[in-house]
């Protein structure tokens, strides 16, 4: 969108993955029609999204866990599907982020989609991203799956929901500076969400504590977005300070070995915390969907 680091895939002829979505297929299909939406780099990568669903299943209460503990492998296999859809669906990229800056800041983002469209106009709304509304839709999909009682459908819908929840825990998915504030910071998106995680994260350090209930599942994505956006300034400042130690001659997105220990000291704990939150919030939303479906029990 606003940077050369965005990706814009070719138009595809395949149907939308979830055609019964009340938001994406009805209002958004109208406003996104024909728009080539270029999205930020994929959040967390396949490794991160698999970690999120694995930890989320471990943290589920007994009721929803009865449906999903035997489906953990299927969930992990499909946890990154939404990133793959970008290659065939030009509208998919905008479902993974929300540029709060376009609204004047995260607190100015309306929960009502019609109000958001009026506030920005059709085209600007489409380009600003729709992640919170997508989480709402995927949550409703999961409620329907629990109501249907199909274990594989429940696992698939849970995995897809987890992906968008995890994306909203990435601070750089909430800002126009999604790959830095100037060309000198190019690659910060990848360095933060993938570089730090793959270099330094010990998966066994992620929390497996039981969750508390989410009291407002449909409103929660806006709270997460505000929290994530509040981390952007510090994240970018830490990258600049670490980059001051970058070896001369290392160009573009690359950073030398001197950069990483400093950036790790400043931001690796935050990466772990946001992954923990992604897993916790995925488990909370799965549990809320199970309760909204009247707490069904799986067949023996």
How far is the C-alpha of 63 from the C-alpha of 291, rounded, in Å?
A: 9
Length of the chain measured in residues: 300
- Residue 280: other Cβ atoms inside 10 A: 23
CB 130 within 8 A of CB 98: yes
Distance CA(160)–CA(167), nearest Å, equals 11
- Answer whether 82's CB lies under 8 Å from 95's CB: yes
pLDDT of residue 15: 31
Domain residue ranges of the chain, discontinuous segments joined by +? 24-209+216-291
Q: Can you state the angle between helices 45-58 and 151-168, rounded to 10 degrees?
A: 120
Whole-number pLDDT of residue 257: 84
The listed CATH number (1.10.3210.10, 1.20.140.10, 1.10.575.10, 3.10.150.10) that belongs to domain 24-209+216-291: 1.10.575.10
Interatomic CA distance for residues 197 and 19, integer angstroms: 34
Give CA–CA dist 209/175, Å, rounded.
31
In this prediction, residue 284 carries a pLDDT of 98
Instruction: Please tell me the predicted confidence (pLDDT) of residue 42.
Output: 64
Q: Which of 15, 286, 24, 297 is nearest to 157 (CA)?
A: 286
Rounded to whole angstroms, the Cα distance separating 3 from 136 reads 28
| 187 CA to centre of own chain | 18
Query: Residue 79 in contact with residue 49, Cβ under 8 Å?
Result: yes
What is the model's pLDDT at position 256? 82
Q: Which residues are CB-neighbours of 114 under 8 A, at least 6 positions away?
A: 27
Which residues does 37 contact at the CB level (< 8 Å), separation at least 6?
1, 8, 90, 91, 93, 94, 126, 127
Task: State residue 90's pLDDT score.
Answer: 94
The per-residue pLDDT string of the chain (300 residues; one tens digit each, 9 = 90 and over) reads 333 333 333 233 333 343 333 343 333 333 333 333 444 456 799 999 999 999 999 999 999 999 999 999 999 999 999 999 999 999 999 999 999 999 999 999 999 999 999 999 999 999 999 999 999 999 999 999 999 999 999 999 999 999 999 999 999 999 999 999 999 899 999 999 999 999 999 999 999 999 999 999 999 999 999 999 999 999 999 999 999 988 665 555 678 889 999 999 999 999 999 999 999 999 999 999 999 999 999 987
Give burial (CB, 10 Å; 0-12/13-18/19+) of 36: middle
Closest among 80, 76, 130, 55 to 282, alpha carbons compared: 55
**Residue-level pLDDT at 16:** 36
Angle between helices 131-148 and 259-292 (to 10 degrees): 40
pTM (predicted TM-score): 0.86
């Amino acid at each position: 969108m606003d940077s050369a680091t965005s990706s814009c895939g070719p138009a595809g002829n395949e149907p939308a993955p979830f055609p019964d979505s009340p938001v994406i297929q009805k209002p958004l299909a109208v406003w996104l029609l024909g728009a080539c939406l270029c999205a930020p780099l994929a959040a967390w990568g396949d490794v991160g999204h698999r970690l999120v669903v694995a930890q989320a299943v471990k943290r589920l209460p007994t009721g929803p866990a009865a449906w999903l503990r035997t489906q953990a492998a299927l969930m992990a296999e499909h946890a990154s599907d939404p990133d793959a859809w970008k290659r065939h669906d030009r509208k998919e990229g905008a479902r993974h982020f929300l540029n709060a800056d376009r609204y004047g800041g995260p607190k100015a983002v309306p929960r009502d989609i019609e109000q958001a469209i009026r506030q920005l106009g059709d085209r600007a709304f489409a380009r600003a991203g729709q992640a919170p509304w997508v989480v709402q839709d995927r949550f409703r999909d999961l409620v329907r799956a629990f109501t249907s009682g199909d274990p594989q459908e429940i696992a698939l819908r849970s995995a897809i929901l987890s992906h968008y929840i995890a994306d909203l825990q990435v601070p750089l998915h909430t800002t126009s500076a999604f790959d830095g504030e100037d060309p000198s910071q190019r690659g910060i998106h990848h360095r933060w969400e993938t570089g730090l995680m793959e270099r330094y994260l010990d998966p066994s350090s992620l929390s497996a504590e039981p969750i508390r209930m989410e009291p407002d599942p449909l409103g929660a994505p806006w709270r997460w977005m505000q929290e994530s956006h509040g981390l952007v300034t510090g994240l970018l400042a830490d990258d600049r300070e670490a980059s001051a130690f970058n070896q001369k001659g290392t160009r573009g997105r690359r950073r030398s070995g001197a950069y990483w220990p400093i950036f790790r000291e400043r931001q690796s704990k935050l990466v772990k915390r946001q992954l923990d939150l992604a897993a916790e919030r995925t488990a909370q939303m799965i549990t809320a969907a199970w309760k909204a479906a009247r707490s069904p029990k799986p067949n023996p």
